[in-house]
Structure 1
């Protein structure tokens, strides 16, 4: 076998491989001889068919099959011989495949880059720390109550945070339009679900009222056919309901797995859950900060084949978010460019972390793997069953080991890095997006108040909006709730 290699651009390699004709012809002959023992052809006894007949009937197909196998085998032998590490599958182009002559083909592929790691002591990162205060616990308990609120019909006029049940029909220039009508529709006033003016126009309405609203679709409305157009909505209010929060009693506490200690015990459990969430959020934020600095300080060429593979993974994850209907979605609706930046970042980070693992000779710590699995199992009624499942399922175990190994890499880098702590609120650490929005609202309120003197105070954020945001907060999950024994132990508990 003859091999020659040239570098085309960056990580791409072009390898020309030559294989002696005798190797090919011998392989073809051997395959035909084997076929002669088993094939059936009318007019000949099995095993007595002349080789010439076998070759005339099957020779072309057998040769193509053998050529494919030899080119594949020769390619892998060549990259091993040349000590290359291909990233992704090669593109094989036959150059000369004539019968009786040496074959030659070209394999074009990318190789993994050489990664030179920067000095971790130059990594400067910020670690956010916070405390769980009594006020934070009060807020969390209120969020949990709002998640389990019920609706109670009332006979008074509707106000923000109430839910109205309505029938409505929208018309543009007297004509109904697609998606512009609905019946028996529940709508929480102040939720921002409808276009501007719709919900505000139903404030002070009551059951049985008929309301006409003359509005205009926003210029940036998602349906371009309706954007900027005036619309008339004729609305019938069927009912008005007010939110009813559950009482802080034993029944409520038991719904979250707390059956002893009353309100004090519940607060203690909520606080412990928030502390765990706080610790996790602090580490995750620091990890993100450190990884971003690593990406800045370590230049790495990224193989396009690995990026393409990562794009496919991200696309599939995005499709899965659409649920069962995703099976019928055309993947091309989500173009590569939508995921390219994130894919390149993930591949680059993976290469950097992989180099750290190789240089430091790291392996997943068995004790930490066990601890991670036990943490998962602790949220199930039958923890031992879950633990056994993970240790008997290689894919699941590999996933945990990879996560633990990544944690070990992070801990190693963090030990050498320059880490400074900054104290923030619980909300800012666990839900930075909501905290930023609330800060922006405060600033907007200050600005408005300063311009209008003391005419009216800054508007408060609707309680319904607060509840919706609170549901997004990780710490709003059930504290220490135990799920019933799962049919599939590997399914993670909430």
Structure 2
């Protein structure tokens, strides 16, 4: 059995030895196979002299044989010594063997996976997020749905907060126009912070058809650097003032939300069900992150740099694709891999901890758990059974639900072992989580 040499961190070196007798025997075998199908000018396919075939293809065949036999010997040693490889980094030549007619040697440099010693989960302190959905949360959601269906009715009075105004404006700094400082028929709602406070304040009280000059001081930290810290004078003309009218919570409103018979109580139940599902999704996501962070912090071991660099490169490519999907030209975008190293390390670390935790505690999901998640997905669709059938038509489609079930098992297991403090979130905190 060959000796594995420990290098830096998780890097290892193994020198494998292959007999030249074995190399030559395999070379002759492959050379004859090549000769049978070789196409050489002046000869019918497969009828060229073996020496000529060797002259043309011998070097590449020998390199192929050396690589294959050395790799096979390396693989055999890895199995025999039960080595868990993270990545093969390179194969180096061994010096001083030019005149060795007995054996050929190659040095394999590789990284191994670290040994994972699972932490005592009872020592973890985890804050678990919880939230309730009551009448107040349902009322708040219905109010949001009403605002989404706001109608604006033209009025002849002066503009007030929450009115929608349509304006022309022309801005000048020291009497000169500046980029982005002018627009025509520009609509916005007063009091929502869409424009600078002085700009909005100047419009309050203005009626349709009125014009006036409004002085506005741009903040020093304004995103437009060319105007930051400067004072502009805007000539504003109001074309339309319209006040908001929210729909009544009645039969028509319920029907607009998909309740066929317009029953408001049914509408409230449907809103509660949808809001509860979303609140659960968001609090679950926060709890997953809390558990994963606790697991990362509780374990300390070297990470295979090859896996970290590979994950960082994948994250960089993923960001470029996201930019492209948003309509940005990301083809020549150079994102340094170093930007993603920290996040990549977190992912690789978890990718090593979780399999060990799952295996040690038999946390693999059951078919029933996977089915329950599929059913949850399907609930929000018009024909749930059609969605369920789609998932089960191809086992690969169940990978997502399976991963979620596995994640849920890990979270439940860790929370069951750790010291848990519950943190009750209000509705705004949950819905503002941005998940």
Q: Name the TM-score class by shorter chain.
A: 0.7 to 0.9
Are residues 1:111 and 2:94 paired?
no
Q: Is the 8 A contact 1:4 1:17 kept in 2?
A: no
Aligned partner of 2:8 in structure 1 is: 9
Alpha-carbon distance in 2 for matches of 1:144, 1:271? 13
Aligned partner of 1:446 in structure 2 is: none
**TM-score, with structure 2 as normaliser:** 0.85
How far is 1:404 from its partner? 0.7
Q: 1:71 to 1:188 in 2, by over 3 A?
A: farther
**TM-score, with structure 1 as normaliser:** 0.76
Aligned partner of 2:257 in structure 1 is: 256
How far is 1:53 from its partner? 1.7
Alpha-carbon distance in 1 for matches of 2:227, 2:113? 51
| 1:213-228 equivalences in 2 (<5 Å) | 213-228=214-229
Q: Is the 8 A contact 2:253 2:262 kept in 1?
A: no
Aligned partner of 1:238 in structure 2 is: 239
Alpha-carbon distance in 2 for matches of 1:98, 1:205? 93
Q: 1:158 to 1:14 in 2, by over 3 A?
A: farther
After TM superposition, the structure 1 stretch with the greater mean CA deviation from structure 2, 354-363 or 102-111, is 102-111
Aligned partner of 2:403 in structure 1 is: 402
Q: 1:376 to 1:424 in 2, by over 3 A?
A: closer
How far is 1:335 from its partner? 3.3
How far is 1:49 from its partner? 0.5
Alpha-carbon distance in 2 for matches of 1:310, 1:226? 41
Q: Is the 8 A contact 1:353 1:406 kept in 2?
A: no
How far is 1:143 from its partner? 0.9
Aligned partner of 1:55 in structure 2 is: 54
Q: Is the 8 A contact 2:111 2:304 kept in 1?
A: yes
How far is 1:326 from its partner? 5.6
How far is 1:139 from its partner? 1.1
- Residue 198 of structure 2 aligns to a residue whose secondary structure is coil
- Residue 208 of structure 1 aligns to a residue whose secondary structure is coil
Aligned partner of 2:38 in structure 1 is: 39
How far is 1:89 from its partner? 4.6
- Residue 40 of structure 1 aligns to a residue whose secondary structure is coil
How far is 1:175 from its partner? 4.5
How far is 1:407 from its partner? 1.1
Alpha-carbon distance in 2 for matches of 1:54, 1:225? 73
Aligned partner of 2:342 in structure 1 is: 341
Q: 1:174 to 1:336 in 2, by over 3 A?
A: farther
Aligned partner of 1:357 in structure 2 is: 358
Q: Is the 8 A contact 1:320 1:326 kept in 2?
A: no
Aligned partner of 2:267 in structure 1 is: 266
Aligned partner of 1:86 in structure 2 is: 85
- Residue 14 of structure 1 aligns to a residue whose secondary structure is strand
How far is 1:153 from its partner? 3.5
| 1:129-168 equivalences in 2 (<5 Å) | 129-168=130-169
Q: 1:57 to 1:426 in 2, by over 3 A?
A: same
Aligned partner of 1:488 in structure 2 is: none
Q: Which runs of 5+ in 1 are unaligned?
A: 434-471, 475-494
Alpha-carbon distance in 2 for matches of 1:21, 1:365? 53
Q: Is the 8 A contact 2:251 2:262 kept in 1?
A: no
After TM superposition, the structure 1 stretch with the greater mean CA deviation from structure 2, 223-232 or 11-20, is 223-232
Q: CA RMSD in A?
A: 3.3
Aligned partner of 1:468 in structure 2 is: none
- 1:167-198 alpha-carbon deviations (Å, 9 max, x no partner): 44444445444444444433333333444533
Q: 1:13 to 1:182 in 2, by over 3 A?
A: farther
Aligned partner of 2:312 in structure 1 is: 311
Q: 1:131 to 1:109 in 2, by over 3 A?
A: same
Q: 1:122 to 1:36 in 2, by over 3 A?
A: same
Are residues 1:367 and 2:386 paired?
no
Alpha-carbon distance in 1 for matches of 2:63, 2:175? 70
Q: Which runs of 5+ in 2 are unaligned?
A: none
How far is 1:5 from its partner? 2.4
How far is 1:274 from its partner? 3.0
Alpha-carbon distance in 2 for matches of 1:105, 1:24? 13
Q: 1:123 to 1:55 in 2, by over 3 A?
A: same
Alpha-carbon distance in 2 for matches of 1:30, 1:201? 91
Alpha-carbon distance in 2 for matches of 1:136, 1:176? 48
Are residues 1:388 and 2:392 paired?
no
Alpha-carbon distance in 2 for matches of 1:248, 1:267? 10
Q: Is the 8 A contact 2:165 2:187 kept in 1?
A: yes
Q: Is the 8 A contact 2:217 2:230 kept in 1?
A: yes
Alpha-carbon distance in 1 for matches of 2:8, 2:197? 54
- Residue 128 of structure 2 aligns to a residue whose secondary structure is strand
- 1:116-171 alpha-carbon deviations (Å, 9 max, x no partner): 12222222333344433322221111011112323333333333333333344444
Aligned partner of 1:431 in structure 2 is: 431
Q: 1:296 to 1:5 in 2, by over 3 A?
A: same
How far is 1:422 from its partner? 4.7
Q: 1:192 to 1:42 in 2, by over 3 A?
A: same
- 1:293-323 alpha-carbon deviations (Å, 9 max, x no partner): 3333222332223323333443344344445
Alpha-carbon distance in 1 for matches of 2:221, 2:142? 38
